[in-house]
A and B are shown apart, each in its own frame.
Chain A
Amino acid sequence: MLAVIGKRLAMAVPSLFGVSIVIFLLLNVLPGDPLAGLLAPDATPADRAALAKQLGLDAPLPVQYVTWLTKLAHGDLGQSFSRQRPVAELVGTAFTNTLVLALAAAALGLTIGMTLGIIAALRTGSPVDQLISILSMMGLSVPSYWLAVLLIIIFSATLRWLPSAGMHGINGGTIDFLKHLIMPAIATSAVTVGMVAKTTRASLIETFGHDFVLTLRAKGLSGWRVLEHVVKNAAPPIMTMAGLQVGYLLGGSVLVETIFSWPGLGQLIFQSIQSRDLRVTQAAVLVIAVTFVLTNLAVDILQTLVNPRLRRAG
């Protein structure tokens, strides 16, 4: 098992390298200037050159990349010049905030999605099944930013039940935090609900058709016990989908985070690209890439635990 994990992690390293090179090239190829927002209104080209030299941005691109990589190897992510604080601090805080939101959205999305999917699979063809199909499609199709604004209009501006933005209110506290969390979590989880519901339904229906289900029923097992077996066997594609969803959620949703002023990774990346802050963008994207790799690895391990056939093959 450990060997498998080690091998998987080792295989991820070239991908991470590739990601970092692509980001580096993209940000340097994009029009715009990392120093544009830092200069005085009428700063001359000489002023700009002086600042570029100070920040090491006048070196050739390969040199800049190698410098960055060397520092990364020593655990130094550098200083963000657009925010004047260490990159590690910025990315760490943003990632934690996104983690909270992602886990909340995942909890909502997976729970509701799986429940709906199971109900739909048990009532195939019925009006309930059709309603759930419609809801799943809506979850997948409705833009998250539209849903976010709608939620704010209803629950903040009109009903005044929930705060419209931020992570914490003036008074702080757990209930206050949960009140700030619920709408962004709902807006972010809609796609997850849709994907998971559809996958769960499809996988369960397919598994219900297997011979072993007939065998179990013939043996006299109750409906719930049969369901338990079916769920176990139907789990792999659902878990893969859930893993992908969690990985995607951990990347942060720029739109939802911007609308709710939720200071997460999506918003950080968006703003750092806008200001051409290469160091922050690099670090943030690498964090997402690593998280994605680890999440998928975790799902694969979980798959092996759930499905012994994979273990023998692996």
Chain B
Amino acid sequence: MNRRTLLQFTVQGAILAPAASLLMAACSSVASPAPTAAPATGASPAASPAAALNGTGGTLVIGMTAGNIPYPNTPPNEGAEGSRFVGYNIYDALTRLNVEQGNTTPVPSPGLAESWKTASDNLTWTFQLRKGVKFHDGTDFNADAVVFQLNRLTKKDFAFFDPLQAAATASFTMMIDTYQAVDPQSIQIKTKSPYSFLLWDLLLVMIPSPTAVQKYGTKDYVNHPIGTGPFFVTKYVDGQIMELAPNPTYWRGKAKLDKMILRPMPDPASRLAALQSGDINWAEVPPPDSLAQLKTQGYNILLKTYPHSIVLDYNLSKPPFNNVKARVALQYAIDRNRMCNDLLDKACSPAYQWMYTGHPWYDPTVGDKYQYNPAKAKQLLTEAGYPNGFKINVAYPTGGSGNMWPGPMMELVQSNFKDVGVTMTMAPLEWNDILTIYRAGFATPENQKYDAMYFSPNTSTPPSLLGFATSRIQPNGCCNVTGYSNPKVDALFQKAESEFDTKKQDALLQQAMGLVTDDSPVAFVVHDLNLRVLSPKVNGFIQPMSWYCDFLNVWVSK
């Protein structure tokens, strides 16, 4: 072969190589398993008449805000969104939230435990387990399975101890002292002190099949998840897709769907486009300014009050926010109605307390007193010793599931504060950094540069209120990021923790939160309304007053 021929060959090869590899890659992609069920429906939002309410079947395709598929462990990652779409579909816990209804705030209800009672010492709980429940692999659910999981989460010397799962559930197991199987259908759990919040904690102790964990081991279990839940995994490709099929023997009844598909779509514009093009029929949190358009196109916009707020956590360890008058002053400076009505197209409701109006822990005697009133804000600032306002540095996340739209919301707050003489510098941080500050607290040297921080607390459980307890100030506990300490509030929390009558407990928590509202260790901004948009072909879904969902009665028409 001479030089000329070699050269021709090489150049032709260099041109053909990309084309050939493209073709090869395309052909190799055929090797990836192609699902066989019906395609996602819900493309064109035809105004179908009130279809038979008792339909079944169809494929639900969900576009999540998560950047990746939550791995199907107990619990999944990707935060609460992981539990919502993966955790509670594959697994059950001893207690569950009654999220199949949308009229009342869900509370811990019978899950894998049918009933429970506490002994007179208020330490020993006996749970009667549901009979006849089987894991997806056919093995029996029983007391041993619960003990196995608790060992997996708390006993370092247990053969199948999982340090990552243990860390992820540490908050929920920390009050458990001992546990044992009394008989196959009942388990006894003893707490370290009288702790009426246990039922809330147990919501997040999901139960996997011990057989599966033992068979696949800690490292490989996540590729073979087995629970007792309404769905089981049929396909799971990290970074791409998870497909779930209904569990035919689920103890609450078989789900109506033929299939559920989860897709990670971290970009809101992509989620919107995917919904409009029919690639998905359930879009989490589309951009709020698309709601008007989606409505005219016939999509179902879902909004519902639920316990989830947006606040500014204040740094109480230094001026200006060590001054309660300064903190209260700024409560009157935020134009919450404008934020919800103008900025966010009604995708939020104004927050005047930690809890929304009407919730059992919302204090009606304190009420919605922090109405927008810049004049009053200025007056209170003067009384606080800041007639000319002050400068503050506020951190906020640039993303993160459940955080609503921090950038634009912060800009509105910044302009509101400017109107009353407070100059707010905004410090954008990654969600990871925000969480790190949250866990370390403001009082540490590296966090002192922040006067406040945008945060989106889950406010749905009594333990979630304990961020206002002195005992949770870092490093002795976690996570009282503000450093707030009020002995009256502490006393009320302690009483509530050992109060086993729910109504009395609610009253104590209500009182505590009323005091917190007066002290304003945080600025109340808005309550999230859990925005999601569904194709009109998705039926049967009831948006609960909760972050979590029930998919049992959802079906998708053709």
Contacts and interface: CB of A to CB of B under 8 A. Distances in A.
Interface centre among A51, A79, A164, A171 (most CB of B within 10 A): A164
Nearest to B435: A36
B479 interface: yes
A275 B436 CA distance: 11
Contact of B466 (A42, A51, A54, A174): A42
A44 B436 contact: no
A109 to B, nearest CB: 9
B474 A45 contact: yes
B26 A37 contact: no
A156 B269 CA distance: 12
A305 B1 CA distance: 14
B43 A168 contact: no
A274 B430 contact: yes
Contacts of B35: 170-172
A261 B270 contact: yes
Contacts of A33: 432, 435-436, 439
B64 to A, nearest CB: 10
Given A40-B172, A43-B170, A152-B269, A168 B32 contact: yes
Contacts of B239: 90, 93-94, 263, 267-268
Contact of B25 (A99, A156, A302): A99
B438 to A, nearest CB: 9
Contact of B265 (A41, A54, A167, A261): A261
Contacts of B269: 149, 152, 259
A191 B170 CA distance: 48
A230 to B, nearest CB: 14
A103 B27 contact: no
B26 A40 contact: no
Interface string A1-43: 0000000000000000000000000000001110111111111
A261 B77 CA distance: 18
Interface string B18-50: 110110011101101111010110010000000
B89 interface: no
B449 to A, nearest CB: 11
Contact of A306 (B7, B261, B477): B7
Contacts of A61: none
Interface string B149-165: 00000000000000110
B278 A43 contact: no
Interface in B254-298: 261, 263-267, 269-270, 272-274, 276-279
Interface stretch (B67-75, B110-118, B484-492): B67-75
Contacts of A181: 26
Interface string A223-236: 00000000010000
A32 B431 CA distance: 9
Given A39-B439, A42-B171, A261-B265, A84 B164 contact: yes
Contacts of B429: 31
Contacts of A84: 71, 73, 77, 164, 219, 222
A113 B142 CA distance: 66
Interface in A80-95: 81-85, 90, 93-94
Contacts of B466: 42
A160 B170 CA distance: 47
Contact of A32 (B43, B265, B430): B430
Contacts of A186: none
B182 interface: no
A279 interface: no
B478 interface: yes
B34 A160 contact: no
Nearest to A41: B171
B125 to A, nearest CB: 21
B18 A308 contact: no
A110 interface: yes
Interface string B166-194: 11111110100000000000000000000
Contact of A170 (B59, B67, B163, B264): B59
B26 A44 contact: no
A188 to B, nearest CB: 13
Contacts of B464: 41
Given A41-B479, A170-B35, A177-B30, A156 B279 contact: yes
A275 B479 CA distance: 20
B57 to A, nearest CB: 15
A48 B270 contact: no
B439 A48 contact: yes
Nearest to B264: A261
B270 A38 contact: no
A36 B18 contact: no
Q: Which 5 A-B pairs have the closest CB atoms?
A: A172-B34, A263-B239, A107-B18, A40-B171, A54-B163
7 contacts: A41-B171, A45-B474, A84-B73, A110-B18, A157-B272, A168-B240, A232-B7
Given A40-B168, A152-B269, 10 more contacts: A32-B436, A84-B219, A85-B223, A100-B22, A103-B25, A163-B274, A164-B270, A164-B279, A167-B240, A267-B239
Interface of A: 31-33, 35-45, 47-48, 50-51, 54-55, 79, 81-85, 90, 93-94, 99-100, 103-104, 106-107, 110-111, 149, 152-153, 156-157, 160, 163-174, 177-178, 181, 232, 258-261, 263, 267-268, 271, 274-276, 302, 305-306, 308
